[in-house]
Structure formats: C-alpha cells, structure tokens
C-alpha cells in the first residue's frame, strides 16, 4: 500500500487540462502499486489511474514502459494503456514527480485463486508472451540472476533475518551460478505477475497491471515467478497440485515450452524464489520501522525455495 | 490514510449480493477516513464507498450515524447516504468488522481554499445546521469540553511533546472550565469539518463526509472548529482575514448567530484548538512509530490556541 505524495487540486486541474478528458470530478489516493503514489481519478471523460513515480521507478525508464504497454494493448493483451495528452506525451510532471495518467481497468485481485482462475492466469501470461516474442524493446533486468549476489551482500547478515539463512543463500547462489541456463527463449517479461497484479472478474482476466519490473529475461522465468506466486499456500510450504497443473495447462494453450525450458523449470523456480527471498530480506532489514510500506516477510519464499529444491520438483510443473 | 483490513473477493461478492446493486466490477482500498478501512467499490449498479469500521468507531454507534445521514440526505444536505440491503439493513459484517456501503459523491478535498470556497463551506455548514436543528437524534460528545482533562491526563507528560506545553494546557483547561458557555443553541453537529471532509468541485460543495465524530454540542462550536480548520496558515500562526470573513459571511446566510453565541466564539475557538491540540498530542505519544497512520503534529493547534487567546480575537469572527 502506498500513497506518498500529495497532489494539489489546482495542479491536478492543470494536469488534466492537458488531456482530452474533460474536467476533474474526483481523485482518491488508492492503496496499490509498487511504491508509487496512485490515485483513482474520475473526470467528465471517464475513469483513470494517476500514478506518481516515487524512488523505485526511474524516470528514464518511463518511455520504455509507455512503449511496452502500447505494444501489448495493440496486441490485444488486457493491459492499461498510458494516456497521451494533446501533444502526444504520456509522461508528465506533478508535485515534483514524474507522472502518467493510465487507463482504468475493471476487475479485482484475487486472494485465493481457484484452479479455473489459475488456468486463466496461465492463458493470459502465455498470450502476453506471444505478443512479447515479437516486441523489439529491451530493458536490462536489474532484479535478474546476475544481481542476486549484490542484493544478498547489500542486505548484510542474513542470519539476522533468520538463523541459518546466510548459509542457505550462499549455497543456493553457488548452485544457481553453476546451473543457470543460458540459451532459453527470452524477451521482455512481466517478472512480477503476482495475483495483486492480475485483475479478474470471475474466471476472466480483465487486466494485467504494474509492469514496473518488466525487463528482458527468459520467458520460462516469468512462468516460474507466476507459478511461485499463484500455486502455494500462504506460508510457502505447500504447492497445490490442482492450482499448479491448471496454471501450466493454461500457459500450454498459448506457448509450447521447449525441452530445454522444461528441463530448466525447477532451477529457474529456485532462482525466482531466491529473488523474492532476497529482495524481501533486503527490504525487511532496510525499511525504517516507521515507513508507510508494509514489509513483507521473506520466509514464505525460503519455504518455496526448499520445495523447488526437492527431488520431485519437476512434477510441480506438469500440466496434467 | 488508512486501509487496514483485507477484504476477500468472495466475501465481497457475498456482501454485494445482499444489495440491489448488481455484481462487483472493481474494489480498491482508498487512503481516506478516520482510521477506518475504506474501499472505492464499483458494481454493475454504480459506484459506492465500502467502509469497514476499525477500533475508533463503536459498532453500537452505527445506527445513530445511519439515521443521521438519512435525516440530512432527506433535508437536502449533500451527505452520502448509507445504502440499505434488500432486508432494509445498512450495517453489515465483513472480514470480522462492522461495515457499511455508502453512496459515492463526486468532488475533491481542497488543500488551499479560496475565499469563495470558504464562503461555500460556511453556507453548507449553516444549511446543515438548519437541517440538524430539527433532528431529534442525540449522541454524547466523547471529544467534548468535559473530556479534555481526561485526554490531557491520558497523554502523560505534555512537556515531552513540547517544552512548556503542560503549563499552557493546565492554564487553558482552567480558563475553559471557568468560561465555557452553558446555554447556547445545541443539536447534533459534525464536529470535524476540516477541508478533508468537504468535497468540492470548483466553488461548489458536493459532499460533506466522515460524520464519525458527530455528536450533540453547541452549533457555534461546530462553526469555530470549521473556522480553525479552514482559515489558518499551515503552521497555525496566522488567520487569513479574507478566508475567515468569507466563512462567517457564508454561514450567516443560513444562520443568524445569537448575541450569546457571538460573545462566546473566541472562548469556543480556544476550546476547539485545545481539543485538536490534545487529541493530536495524545496520538503523537501513543501511536506506535511503525503504525500505518501518519501522526499529525499538534503544534499548529497550539499556534491557533494562542491566536484565539489574543485580545483582538473577536474580530477574527466578523463576517465583514
């Protein structure tokens, strides 16, 4: 949850006047997004999301996100377009922040997805990957495999987060350095497709949102992130086979994984678990106790890592 | 800002199904309200606010608020009605909390009101008081004059908040005990009509919201709370005469204050300043540093108190 920056009503009126969207009727800060300030904005022209970018999103990356969402929207993926003003610009300034006005999409984020909903998420992810295979944009993945050791070092003593964690992480970093694949199909991926970032109505996906971690990486890595995010119990100890099979079945309706990808899935999933384990541990240690951000417990991703390490991990990725 | 309680989508669907409002299209936590969890809920039947009541609002008080808003809406005040379900009930249960679904009103809260906007707020307050004069509901004001000494005592050492504050508060409590009026026109008042709680479009008031401090007290006390909230600089040191005159002029278009009320305004305004000074000091001391609530600095209300104590304070309430 995150609303950090106050928007003055006069500044808002001036911003909205740059667009073909009439005048402001309402603007309410919403508890959504990755450390940005988000507002649900209603004008006489419709409903929109106003996002002010805080520290984690670099202003220089915004043109990439605008172009990516344009491409995906044009390809039929249910993503929110960034609205352009009368001069064609999607990136604005307000309250000292870069800001975009973004299409509003209906739908709500699930807490406990059903198999049918996991299957729909898998289809949506696969369809997005088909659209992204032909996309020529690129962005280095600053949260990718090559950076995990830095994140671990920057966190400090991992045993302070949880006794024994440092040894587990060191061992895993060694394994992943030795076994991380090098030649799998790659393109821009979402890289953070948790249930929070998928809007649904019933069993229908109505929105894929929050692309601010999108970057160039293996498509199968995007799939295992989604697998880790959608198919486990809250404590991360148990993968529900019905949810996992449904997700994989849905994805397979759009994408035929290569043999190399299938073989790499458990390793990639260990990497995905380590990525969220490390960034959560880092934020746990470095977020001031009085910050407005709710710190996320890293432990459920340690539990996933251990599950994906088990001898039978490959069967968690079977579509049937 | 406050969204505390998670609402499960299935529970939300079950709640909405009790009403004549179609099915859920969207539900986003919003950063609004007095320590309640608020959601902007969209259904196929329209837009609504879903409020889950956290600790500060007693469930037993909810029928009073429902009735009060019904009365005001029927009297033409721009207040959000609490929607009743098919069985006629406005108070529900969800996620272990009492909850209401409330009419959505357009408008935004001002940061820097103009004189024309202060005048409109004064008119809206006066019109609401006309409607409340004939209202037979009642609720003891747990934040009223008789309770300030308790709040001061419960805060602990006020000098820890600001050196010298304890002596100022003790002196003021003594003055107010000796001079607090006893026989002014009284009825249920809003008691918290800060700019946050007034929705406006341009110079027009479109909503008076957040009645959870509403209680029986002097109507002139409601007026001075509004005066303290709308007409001062952010640090509380300066009352802008153009804003203050506009507020009083607007109010006077609806309500002719009695001579007794006019004479009591500076004393009531000292009380209003002390009330917010004390409750903010209390929360400053007792809010855990890691709470999701932003603690409000009590100092600007000490500054207002000092301004209202000055010999020329009566002229701050002149409508021209």
**pLDDT tens, chain B, 320 aa long:** 456 788 999 999 999 999 999 999 999 999 876 578 999 999 999 999 999 998 778 889 999 999 999 999 999 999 999 999 999 999 999 999 999 999 999 999 999 999 999 999 999 999 999 999 999 999 999 999 999 999 999 999 999 989 999 999 999 999 999 999 999 999 999 999 999 999 999 999 999 999 999 999 999 999 999 999 999 999 999 999 999 999 999 999 999 999 999 999 999 999 999 999 999 999 888 876 655 556 788 999 999 999 999 999 999 999 98
Residues of A in contact with B3 (CB under 8 A): 1, 31
A87 touching B (Cβ < 8 Å): no
User: Bridge-partner residues for A29, per DSSP?
Assistant: A39
Cβ A169 vs Cβ A161: under 8 Å: no
Angle subtended at Cα A33 by Cα A140 and Cα A47, rounded to the nearest 5 degrees: 115
Interface test with chain B among A26, A103, A114, A201, by most B beta carbons within 10 Å: A26
Residues of B in contact with A294 (CB under 8 A): 292
A292 touching B (Cβ < 8 Å): yes
pLDDT at residue A144 tops 90 = yes
Cβ A46 vs Cβ A56: under 8 Å: no
How close, in Å, is residue B295 to chain A by CA atoms? 11
Inter-chain CB proximity B108 and A40 less than 8 Å? no
Q: What is the pLDDT of residue A285?
A: 86
Residues of A in contact with B12 (CB under 8 A): 108
CB-defined contacts A:B, below 8 A: 76
Angle subtended at Cα B31 by Cα B26 and Cα B35, rounded to the nearest 5 degrees: 115
Q: What is the pLDDT of residue B1?
A: 42
Residues of A in contact with B49 (CB under 8 A): none
Which residue of chain B has the CA closest to A12? B108
In the structure encoding, which two tokens stand for residue B29, read together?
Answer: 């936590």
Which residue of chain A has the CA closest to B293? A292
Inter-chain CB proximity A109 and B9 less than 8 Å? yes
A204 touching B (Cβ < 8 Å): no
Residues of B in contact with A30 (CB under 8 A): 28-31, 40
How close, in Å, is residue B213 to chain A by CA atoms? 22
Inter-chain CB proximity B31 and A29 less than 8 Å? yes
A6 touching B (Cβ < 8 Å): yes
Which residue of chain A has the CA closest to B31? A29
Among the listed ranges A200-204, A313-317, B66-70, B284-288, which one has the minimum average pLDDT value? B284-288
Closest Cβ opposite residue A3 in set B1, B108, B289 = B1
Cβ B46 vs Cβ B26: under 8 Å: no
Residues of B in contact with A49 (CB under 8 A): none
DSSP string, chain B: --------HHHHHHHHTTSSS--EEEEEEBS-SSS-EEEEEEETTEEEEEEE--TTS-GGGHHHHHHHHHHHHHTT---PPBPP-TTS---EEETTEEEEEEE---BB--SS--HHHHHHHHHHHHHHHHHHHT-------TTSGGGHHHHHHHH--GGGTSTTHHHHHHHHHHHHHHH--SSS-EEEE-S---GGGEEEETTEEEEE---TT-EEEEHHHHHHHHHHHHSB-TTSS-B-HHHHHHHHHHHHTT----HHHHHHHHHHHHHHHHHHHHHHHHHHHHS-TT-SSPPPPSHHHHHHHHHHHSTTGGGGG---
Query: For residues A8 and B230, what is the distance between their CA atoms, to the nearest angstrom?
Result: 16
Interface test with chain A among B6, B15, B28, by most A beta carbons within 10 Å: B28
Q: What is the pLDDT of residue A217?
A: 98
In A179-296, where do the E strands start and end?
Answer: 186-189, 198-201, 204-208, 215-218
| ipTM of the complex, rounded to two decimals | 0.84
Inter-chain CB proximity A31 and B28 less than 8 Å? yes
Confidence band for A3, pLDDT divided at 50, 70 and 90: low
Cβ A43 vs Cβ A21: under 8 Å: yes
Residues of B in contact with A10 (CB under 8 A): 112
pLDDT at residue A43 tops 90 = yes
Closest Cβ opposite residue B40 in set A8, A40, A289 = A40
* Mean per-residue pLDDT, A182-189: 97
Cβ B307 vs Cβ B237: under 8 Å: yes
Q: What is the pLDDT of residue B320?
A: 84
Residues of A in contact with B8 (CB under 8 A): 111-112
pLDDT at residue A143 tops 50 = yes
- End-to-end, the C-alpha distance of chain B in Å comes to 37
Q: What is the pLDDT of residue A1?
A: 41
What is chain A's length?
320
Confidence band for A132, pLDDT divided at 50, 70 and 90: very high
pLDDT at residue A290 tops 60 = no
Q: What is the pLDDT of residue A289?
A: 61
Inter-chain CB proximity B40 and A25 less than 8 Å? no
B27 touching A (Cβ < 8 Å): yes
Residue found under tokens 């299935």: B10
Inter-chain CB proximity A26 and B107 less than 8 Å? yes
How close, in Å, is residue A4 to chain B by CA atoms? 10
Query: For residues A140 and A268, what is the distance between their CA atoms, to the nearest angstrom?
Result: 18
In the structure encoding, which two tokens stand for residue B86, read together?
Answer: 């098919």
A42 touching B (Cβ < 8 Å): yes
Determine phi and psi for B114, rounding to 5 degrees: -90, 170
Query: For residues A39 and A26, what is the distance between their CA atoms, to the nearest angstrom?
Result: 10
Interface test with chain A among B80, B290, B294, B296, by most A beta carbons within 10 Å: B290
Question: Is B183 buried (19+), middle (13-18) or exposed (0-12) by CB count in 10 A?
Answer: exposed
Q: What is the pLDDT of residue A320?
A: 83
Query: For residues B270 and B279, what is the distance between their CA atoms, to the nearest angstrom?
Result: 14
Which residue of chain B has the CA closest to A207? B26
- Residue B276 CB partners (closer than 8 Å, separation 6+): B228, B298, B301
Inter-chain CB proximity B112 and A10 less than 8 Å? yes
Query: For residues A152 and A281, what is the distance between their CA atoms, to the nearest angstrom?
Result: 8
Q: If we measure between CA atoms, which residue out of A306, A314, A303, A286 comes closest to residue A56?
A: A286
Confidence band for A154, pLDDT divided at 50, 70 and 90: very high
Which residue of chain B has the CA closest to A30? B30
Residues of A in contact with B24 (CB under 8 A): 108, 201
Inter-chain CB proximity B30 and A29 less than 8 Å? yes
pLDDT at residue A35 tops 80 = no
Residue ranges and CATH numbers for the domains of chain A are 9-103 (3.30.200.20), 115-317 (3.90.1200.10)
DSSP state of A287: S
Inter-chain CB proximity B8 and A111 less than 8 Å? yes
Q: What is the pLDDT of residue B147?
A: 96
CA dihedral of residues A65, A68, A69, A74 (deg, nearest 10): 160
Residues of B in contact with A25 (CB under 8 A): 106-107, 201
Query: A232-271, pLDDT tens digit by residue?
Result: 999 999 999 999 999 999 999 999 999 999 999 999 999 9
Residues of chain A numbered 89-108 and touching chain B (CB < 8 Å) = 106-108
Quick check: helix, strand or coil at residue A312? coil
B109 touching A (Cβ < 8 Å): yes
Residue B59: alpha-carbon gap to chain centroid = 18
């Amino acid at each position: 949850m995150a609303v950090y920056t106050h928007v003055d009503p006069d500044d808002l009126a001036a911003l909205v006047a740059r667009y073909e969207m009439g005048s402001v009727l309402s603007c309410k800060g919403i508890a959504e997004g990755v450390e940005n300030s988000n507002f649900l904005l209603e004008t006489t022209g419709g409903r929109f999301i106003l996002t002010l970018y805080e520290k984690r999103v670099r202003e220089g990356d915004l043109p990439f996100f605008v172009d990516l969402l344009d491409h995906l929207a044009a390809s039929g993926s249910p993503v929110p377009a960034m609205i352009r003003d009368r001069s064609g610009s999607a990136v604005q300034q307000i309250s000292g922040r870069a800001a975009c006005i973004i299409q509003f999409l209906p739908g709500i984020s699930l807490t406990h997805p059903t198999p049918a909903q996991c299957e729909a998420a898998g289809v949506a992810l696969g369809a997005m990957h088909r659209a992204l295979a032909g996309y020529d944009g690129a962005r280095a993945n600053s949260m990718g495999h090559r950076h995990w050791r830095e994140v671990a070092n920057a966190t400090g003593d991992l045993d302070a987060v949880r006794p024994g964690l440092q040894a587990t992480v060191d061992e895993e970093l060694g394994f992943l350095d030795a076994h991380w694949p090098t030649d799998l199909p790659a393109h821009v991926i979402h890289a953070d497709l948790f249930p929070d970032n998928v809007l649904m109505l019933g069993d229908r996906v109505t929105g894929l949102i929050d692309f601010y971690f999108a970057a160039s990486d293996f498509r199968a890595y995007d799939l295992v992130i989604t697998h880790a995010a959608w198919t486990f119990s809250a404590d991360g100890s148990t993968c529900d086979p019905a949810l996992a099979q449904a997700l994989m079945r849905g994805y397979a309706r759009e994408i035929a994984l290569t043999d190399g990808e299938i073989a790499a899935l458990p390793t990639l999933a260990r990497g995905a678990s380590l990525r969220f384990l490390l960034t959560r541990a880092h934020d746990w240690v470095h977020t001031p106790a009085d910050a407005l951000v709710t710190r996320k417990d890293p432990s459920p991703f340690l539990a996933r890592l251990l599950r994906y390490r088990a001898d039978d991990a490959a069967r968690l990725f079977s579509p049937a």
